């Protein structure tokens, strides 16, 4: 079962070094996050998979890496200066600011309905170029990577001699001054996009739009999000972005956040190439473009068949890396029992839970709202305690729960049970996993076992493809659990048999390989390890 609460992912991400709040030692920066040692590996693996699928495995794609800073005129003619706005309202009672379309007329902070009229707020960040701050020296941080592709259309076309249809892929940072960044990586002010602008003959755009929809759905499935967990939202005309003829939003059901956009696939028509072109009146454009007096180029394509210069239509699949990573982690997350709980221990935990809930019910320290929330969650938990015992931690982390003295007793009762009988596992596709293989010595102070384990690590890492780590910081069971929760698909243990000092001489030169998902263990000769693992870790 995927994560049931975003808190599970936030806690894991922090605990194990996937994600840190930006500038944390100075109180953080709202809506900005840093990717830690494991986060950067997972993010890079997602991007590499996207690039491989969309660039290397097709024969109609080129790559690009355009600069973040661009001439300000790009944003004038793209329409972003004029239209890249969110509706902003102020609460007159508590002075908080909100996006009008997110709050249904009620301030989420204080409940007041005394709000200002919505007014447009442009989400582009400004920065200054050069030493003199005047009206001509500012630039924007790009709010989408797409425009870097459009303004390079002619450069790519002439240097690659591509014929339509073809696409340009780009991965890079985008910045949006979101009014209310929230929900962890979901809505942030600095993020990465993986975007494709696919140029087609006008008239074939609708067919290509459908083909890209199918291709993108296949990719989400390939990285571990089942087709059944994605819904397609055919965006109604009234909600379409200013450049779009039609857009399919792919929606994923995040815990707590609900069904939300993970990728947009838009038909941008000839709007962008047309808007960035000179001599627009001679180009037979269909989109209502921005009149351009500054461009020095016609962004057209010479169609040999008709002998005419045309402006291609564009299909744009655009996905956020952070939203993707969050979905992949939610989907792969599981807390599961690894062995049966002794009946008497379960009964004692159940008793401690009931005593805690009784105390919550009687407490005068808690607000009514906090009490009801804890009781509701606690009751639900007690219905299936054996399956859901690890959720006691979340119960005890709920607002107000720390005020209940019996909470400590409950924690003391269940924690050892959780440690011994449950595990958290991140069932990532192996090729996305931050670490592919972890190598453990059965005894960390045995010279030969340690030397052999380190040699195995070096041998596997030498190929360059399998991120392999050595770990001797605990007992084997604990080390397995640490790797399970970060998604490492294989753990290798070097023991006395490996070095020829065990009970079975036939096992000399072999190690135990343990599979993350099945927890099954197999003896594999060291000499065959690389071949044994190579395909599996790239699956």
Specify the residue, 323 or 421, whose C-beta has the smaller distance to ligand GAP: 323
| 320 lies in the site for ligand GAP, by CB under 6 A | yes
The 10 Å CB-count burial string (b at 16+, else e) for 253-285 is: bbbbbeebbbbbbbbbbbbbbbbbbeebeebeb
Q: Are 261 and 241 in contact (CB under 8 A)?
A: no
CB 6 within 8 A of CB 184: yes
Find the binder of ligand GAP among 81, 261, 387, 530 (CB under 6 A).
261
* Shortest Å, Cβ 193 to ligand GAP: 5
Element spanning 318, H or E: strand 313-320
CA–CA–CA angle 159, 141, 185 (5° rounding): 105
| Cα–Cα distance for residue pair 451/356, rounded to 1 Å | 50
Interface with ligand GAP (CB under 6 A), residue from 195, 205, 270, 484: 195
Interface with ligand GAP (CB under 6 A), residue from 16, 142, 187, 216: 187
Q: Kindly indicate which of the ranges 186-194, 356-364, 386-394, 440-448 contains the residues binding ligand GAP, using the contact rule CB under 6 A.
A: 186-194
User: What H or E segment, with its residue span, contains residue 484?
Assistant: helix 476-484
Report the alpha-carbon distance of residue 246 to residue 313 in Å, rounded: 12
Q: Which residue matches tokens 């919550």?
A: 360
- Non-local (6+) Cβ contacts of 271 within 8 A are 243, 287, 288, 289, 314
Between CA 140 and CA 209 the distance in angstroms is 30
State yes or no: residue 193 binds ligand GAP (CB under 6 A): yes
Which token pair is 537? 């870790």
322 is a site residue for ligand GAP (CB under 6 A): yes
Size, binding site for ligand GAP by CB under 6 A: 19
**CA-to-CA dists, residue 60 to 164, 391, 479, angstroms:** 9, 48, 45
Site track for ligand GAP across 85-124, x = CB under 6 A: ----------------------------------------
Give Cα separations from 159 to 43, 62, 154, 156, 163 (angstroms). Answer: 31, 11, 8, 5, 12
Looking at the Cβ atoms of 352 and 432, the one nearer to ligand GAP is 432
**Between 176 and 377, whose beta carbon lies closer to ligand GAP?**
176
**Position 197 contacts ligand GAP (CB under 6 A):** no
Q: How far is the CB of 321 from ligand GAP (least distance, A)?
A: 8
Are 497 and 486 contacting, i.e. CB atoms less than 8 angstroms apart? no
Residue closer to ligand GAP by CB (options 246, 481) is: 246
Footprint of ligand GAP on 205-234 (CB under 6 A) = none
Contact status: 172 vs ligand GAP (CB under 6 A): no
Interaction between residue 178 and ligand GAP (CB under 6 A): yes
265 touches ligand GAP by CB under 6 A: no
Half-sphere exposure (CA, 13 Å, Cβ side) for 327?
Answer: 26
* Residues numbered 139-158 forming contacts with ligand GAP, rule: CB under 6 A: 144, 146
Token pair, residue 304, equals: 């040999």
For ligand GAP, what does the binding mask look like between residues 3 and 42, x meaning CB under 6 A?
----------------------------------------
- Closest approach, Cβ 284 to ligand GAP, in A, equals 25
Per CB under 6 A, the segment of 16-24, 320-328, 446-454, 474-482 that binds ligand GAP is 320-328
Residue span binding ligand GAP (CB under 6 A) among the ranges 61-69, 313-321, 372-380, 477-485 = 313-321
Residue of 49, 263, 272, 391 that binds ligand GAP (CB under 6 A): 263
List residues binding ligand GAP (CB under 6 A).
Answer: 144, 146, 176, 178, 187-188, 191, 193, 195, 261-264, 316, 318-320, 322-323
């Amino acid at each position: 079962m995927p994560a049931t609460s975003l808190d599970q992912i936030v806690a894991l991400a922090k605990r194990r070094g996937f994600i840190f709040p930006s500038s944390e030692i100075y109180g953080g920066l709202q809506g900005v996050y840093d990717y830690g040692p494991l986060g950067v590996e997972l993010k890079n693996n997602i991007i590499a998979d996207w690039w491989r699928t969309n660039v290397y495995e097709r024969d109609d794609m080129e790559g690009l890496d355009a600069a973040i800073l661009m001439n300000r005129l790009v944003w004038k003619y793209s329409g972003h200066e004029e239209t890249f706005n969110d509706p902003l309202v102020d609460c007159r009672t508590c002075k908080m600011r909100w996006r009008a379309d997110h709050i249904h007329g009620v301030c989420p902070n204080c409940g007041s309905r005394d709000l200002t009229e919505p007014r447009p707020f442009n989400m582009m960040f400004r920065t200054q170029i050069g030493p003199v701050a005047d009206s001509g020296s500012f630039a924007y941080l790009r709010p989408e990577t797409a425009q870097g592709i459009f303004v390079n259309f002619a450069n790519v076309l002439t240097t690659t001699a591509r014929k339509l249809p073809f696409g340009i892929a780009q991965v890079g940072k985008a910045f949006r001054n979101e009014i209310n960044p929230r929900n962890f990586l979901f809505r942030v002010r600095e993020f990465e996009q993986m975007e494709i602008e696919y140029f087609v003959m006008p008239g074939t755009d609708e067919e290509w739009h459908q083909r890209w929809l199918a291709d993108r759905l296949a990719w989400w499935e390939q990285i571990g999000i089942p087709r059944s967990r994605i819904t397609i939202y055919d965006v109604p005309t009234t909600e379409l972005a200013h450049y779009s003829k039609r857009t399919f939003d792919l929606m994923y059901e995040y815990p707590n956040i609900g069904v939300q956009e993970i990728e947009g696939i838009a038909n941008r028509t000839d709007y962008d190439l047309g808007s960035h072109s000179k001599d627009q009146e001679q180009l037979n454009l269909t989109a209502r473009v921005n009149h351009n007096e500054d461009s020095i180029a016609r962004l057209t394509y010479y169609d040999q068949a008709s002998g005419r210069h045309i402006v291609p239509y564009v299909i744009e699949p655009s996905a956020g890396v952070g939203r993707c990573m969050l979905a992949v982690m939610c989907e792969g997350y599981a807390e599961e029992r690894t062995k049966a709980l002794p009946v008497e221990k379960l009964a004692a935990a159940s008793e401690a839970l009931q005593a805690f809930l009784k105390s919550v019910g009687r407490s005068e320290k808690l607000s009514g709202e906090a009490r009801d929330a804890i009781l509701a969650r606690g009751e639900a938990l007690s219905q299936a305690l054996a399956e859901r015992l690890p959720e006691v931690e979340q119960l005890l982390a709920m607002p107000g729960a720390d005020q209940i003295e019996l909470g400590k007793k409950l924690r003391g009762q269940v924690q050892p049970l959780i440690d011994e009988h449950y595990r958290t596992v991140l069932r990532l596709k192996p090729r996305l996993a931050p670490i592919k293989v972890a190598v453990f010595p059965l005894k960390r102070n045995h010279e030969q076992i340690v030397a052999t384990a380190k040699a195995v690590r070096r041998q596997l890492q030498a190929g360059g493809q399998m991120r392999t780590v050595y770990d001797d910081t605990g007992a084997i069971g604990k080390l397995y659990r640490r790797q399970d929760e970060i998604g490492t698909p294989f753990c290798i243990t070097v023991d006395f048999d490996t070095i020829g000092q065990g009970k079975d001489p036939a096992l000399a030169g072999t190690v135990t390989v343990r599979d993350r998902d099945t927890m099954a263990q197999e003896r594999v000769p060291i000499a065959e390890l690389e071949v044994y693992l190579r395909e599996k870790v790239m699956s």
